[in-house]
Structure 1
């Protein structure tokens, strides 16, 4: 039997494609460029600070100059102040970028962000409880309370979203997160009304900053972040199928409800760690995935990697600018991101491409 031209075209259409997440040269070069930029920003972050130690002296310390290494104040500035907050900026950026990309893909909503699952409001309420009733005043204690609160809020949202006939649906996840977030916000305001001292500390935490972060605060979070990233990578292929619609995903052997619940769990882990370290950071988890989609197209694994790198670059750049904008004081990172993110969000919302900017197809 002869093979027609139509048969050859059909065979070419259904032929399995490469499993590499980077099938586009654009995505490969973008990832390489973002890594190079990140390394440059890391170096710049170690050189620049609000203190009296100059960038030239910090460079001498990094390259091993004996006189610089003998300077105890310089060592404190580079290793005890700038290095921890640099690592924290990278960690927070990777977490928010990955979580935002996952959430937008799972809900097929390009304007979705990590606050939808109630992580921010749950963390804020837990911090207020720790400050008011348990005397939690150290940075490590606040970090622990924020992490537990964010995880607990997400767990409640997941339990609610997993029940009923529409278990795991995007609408159910968003409604559960929004309702719980509003509830926690009201409870937080009620507790703060009667405690002025708690409000002063809470106001500093909720404004969003990396100042005062220590390396010892970050180490316990690394296993949690690693689990969240592994779940995210494991969900890449199912999320690509979900972009075609739930019915198409089922025909390919995936279970949309279970996939979305796994995504929500990963988002909870990643966003909870980010909020615990830096407080609520707006816009970053929304804008980084949008830029990643422009570079990677519909390839979900590439979107996840690029979104994490973009968010890390933006976060560390914002932290550098926070130290020098009103030197010798600091500007909260969240304020700088809001100045940039607000106008960009308006532009995205008005863009004619919004309807096609959804999650991976």
Structure 2
């Protein structure tokens, strides 16, 4: 009786905690959006924000700056959502609490295919980048998972991380080998390589939007099955879950989101790791809650990091990829030490 009552109380508590957390995250995202519009190399007041947002006939420099920051902020939110959900899917599929596109080498695979496209196929537009990046991310994800699955025990968390780190190192060397002898490629690639949301435009947002929608739909559709798989493959099979198909579909959704964001913003690391890990600590492993909360948290982390980069780098800016790496690397070390890389 006590066990049943405990389970019922726990099931009631999670939706309440979810609702409270949702309100907090929406509020934090709103604060980040306002900060993103206010802060930068030039000081902007609230009156300027109102002119830039609601008075199209106002053509002052401040109003135009606000309009540019609106695009940048929307692009940052979309990339943060994509990376947050991608991290949630990758952690669930691999049962690895520190899985992240950057740690598993997926970002580096996307980068290799982009620099290859620039060097040998002369690609220049965001629409071309995105296809090369997605193909590179998918091939790398399959390769890392295959290598990590070798030997006894299958794809353990530690083996996946080691396979991702080794693959990332090799692919980074290939990127340098292609880029260094070609000055035109280096000039075009070096700004993209750091990871920045400053290059976002309405065109890139419209190119990104279909990939984001498809990836989010896949994540939400697979959430119940991923929950069943957390109980173990045998239990999931007894519940009618097609384990191989769900794992493949969820991995495809994660790589699609990561590849599209990487193509347009560059290889930004640690967002998916931080967002999903924080959410799991607060509300548990239920993917029905983890996925939307990771989306919001990823948007908050990336937008906040972009604001910090603009403030610290003023009158220029510090690219957001540098800021997320500076924040994420110590946290990754802490998580690894405390969690001992246990499976989810």
TM-score, reference length from structure 1? 0.82
Q: 1:271 to 1:316 in 2, by over 3 A?
A: same
> Contact 1:123 / 1:148 at 8 angstroms: preserved in 2?
no
Question: What is the alpha-carbon distance in structure 1 between the residues aligned to residue 332 and residue 105 of structure 2?
Answer: 21
Asked whether the equivalents of residues 269 and 324 of structure 2 are also in contact (C-alpha less than 8 Å), the reply is yes
**Unpaired runs of 5+ in structure 1?**
1-7
What is the CA-CA distance between 1:291 and the residue it aligns to? Answer: 0.2
Q: What is the CA–CA distance in structure 2 between the aligned matches of 1:118 and 1:314, rounded to whole Å?
A: 21
Match of 1:259 among 223, 246, 254: 246
Alignment partner for residue 48 of structure 2, among 53, 58, 69? 58
User: Helix, strand or coil for the counterpart of 1:23?
Assistant: helix
1:249 to 236, 239, 252: 236
Instruction: State the partner residue of 1:3.
Output: none
Q: CA 1:155–1:338 in structure 2 vs 1: closer, same or farther (change >3 Å)?
A: closer
Aligned to 1:46: 37
Once the two structures are superposed, residues 249-302 of structure 1 have per-residue CA deviations (whole angstroms, 9 ceiling, x without a partner) of: 112211222221111100111001110221111111111111010111132111
For 1:318, the equivalent position in structure 2 comes to 305
Shift of 1:100: 0.3
Matched residue of 2:317: which SS?
coil
Cα 1:14/1:318, change in 2 over 3 Å: closer
**Which residue number corresponds to residue 211 of structure 2?**
224
The Cα offsets for residues 296-336 of structure 1, whole Å up to 9 and x where unpaired, read as: 11321111111111111111011111111121110011111
From 70, 83, 89, give the equivalent of 2:58. 70
CA distance in 1, matches of 2:192, 2:100: 20
Quote the offset at 1:126 in angstroms: 2.7
Specify the alignment match of 2:222 in structure 1: 235
Post-superposition shift, 1:47? 2.3
Give the whole-Å Cα distance in 2 for the aligned partners of 1:132 and 1:48.
36
Shift of the alpha carbon at 1:222?
0.8
Number of residue equivalences: 336
> Is the Cα contact below 8 Å between 1:47 and 1:58 reproduced in 2?
no
Alpha-carbon contact 2:196-2:319 (below 8 Å) kept: yes
Number of the residue aligned with 1:93: 80
Note the C-alpha offset of 1:231.
0.6
- Selected match of 2:110 from 123, 126, 139: 123
Q: Is the 8 A contact 1:207 1:332 kept in 2?
A: yes
Q: What pairs up with 1:160-309 in 2 under 5 angstroms?
A: 170=155, 174=160, 181=168, 184-309=171-296
1:89-135 C-alpha deviation (Å, 9 max, x unpaired): 10111011101011111111111111366532232123223332344
* Cα distance change of structure 1 residues 241 and 277 upon mapping to structure 2, 3 Å threshold: same
Answer with 1 or 2: which has the greater Rg: 1
Change (3 A) 1:354 1:29: farther
SS of 2:248's partner is: helix
Residue 62 (structure 1) shift: 4.9
SS in 1 for 2:267: coil
Partner of 1:107: 94
Tell me: CA distance 1:23–1:185, structure 2 relative to 1, closer, same or farther (3 Å).
Answer: same
- If the length of structure 2 is used for normalisation, what is the TM-score? 0.85
| Equivalent pair of 2:105/2:141 in contact (CA under 8 Å) | no
1:235 alignment partner, SS class: helix
Partners of 2:166 and 2:30 lie apart in 1 by: 40
Shift of 1:160: 6.5
Deviation, structure 1 residue 210: 1.2
1:24-74 Cα deviation digits (max 9, x unpaired): 3222101111011112211221222323x52244234157579xx523423
CA contact (8 A) 2:130 2:259 kept: yes
- Which runs of structure 1 show a deviation greater than 6 angstroms over 4 or more consecutive aligned residues? 8-15, 158-163, 175-180
